Every structure is written in structure tokens, then in C-alpha cells.
Amino acid sequence: MTDTEVPDSGCFAGEGRAFSIGTEGPRIAMRLHLSVLTDLGEPGSFGVELAGSTGQFDVVHLVAGVQFAGVEDADRFLRDPFQAFDLVYTYELRLPMLADTPGVDPVHTEDEPPVDGPVGVADC
């Protein structure tokens, strides 16, 4: 990972805007996706991709947001607006210092959003 690169999850529309927090050693690379706000009514995304690094090891990667399918049928959208949205969520925590510890998995991964509700989950 370089200063402003986040591994592309492929879950969001467009390239988003890249930011970096920190320049030497520990840092967080971030890509912000806001196309749902700029392309009103069209398919788009609202979310963030974050990658945290110690400078030597990638430690955490989080992808969270929503995909919007767009408004094709206004009547259908007004009856059930949540149907047009899907949640996007993946989380990975890596603890390389525990890699040689017997019985310990140094990688924890989740891909089920910690949210319940009328919105679906994106398959990406």
C-alpha cells in the first residue's frame, strides 16, 4: 500500500476520491465514494474504503457504504425506496505479530454488515 492507495474492493461506482492520513510510519489510506450525491437518480454509491498500515504491515481494511440502483420507476421507488439500496460491508483485521502463535488465527474477516433492516446486502 502506498500513501494514497486503498485496495479497490470493486463494490462502489467510480473511482472515488483518495486521501491519506499520515505520511511516514503508521497511516490510513482512504477512498471516499459520493456518486449517489453527484448523479441524482442514477445508479451510484455512497461509502468509504479504508486501509490502515503500520508502515510495514497492512493491519486493517474496512469497506462500508451503500450501492444505489437508481430510479427507473418513480412509482415503485416511492412505494419502497429501500429496495433501490444495498449495503456494502467487509472488514479484515490482521495481527502479523500473532502469526507464529499456535492456535491463534492472526486474520479476522467479516463480510456480513452489522446492521439489520429493510435494505439488502450487496454481492461484491
- Give a yes or no: residue 83 inside a domain: yes
Residue 49 lies in a domain: yes
Q: Is residue 51 part of a domain?
A: yes
- The answer to whether residue 31 is domain-embedded is yes
pLDDT > 70 fraction of the chain, expressed in percent and rounded = 95
**pLDDT score, position 4:** 45
60 lies in which domain range? 17-113
How would residue 41 be classed by pLDDT, with cut points 50, 70 and 90?
Answer: confident
Sequence-ordered list of residues with C-beta below 8 angstroms from that of 42, at least 6 positions apart, any chain: 70
Query: Would 123 be classed as within a structural domain?
Result: no
Determine, yes or no, domain membership for 118.
no
Domain count, the chain: 1
Whether the predicted pLDDT of 2 surpasses 80? no
Under a CB-based contact definition with an 8 Å cutoff, are residues 121 and 10 in contact?
no
Q: Does residue 90 lie within any of the structural domains? A: yes
pLDDT of residue 36: 87
The pLDDT tens digits of the residues spanning 44-71 come to 899 999 999 988 888 999 999 999 888 8
Task: Give the whole-number percent of the chain exceeding pLDDT 90.
Answer: 34
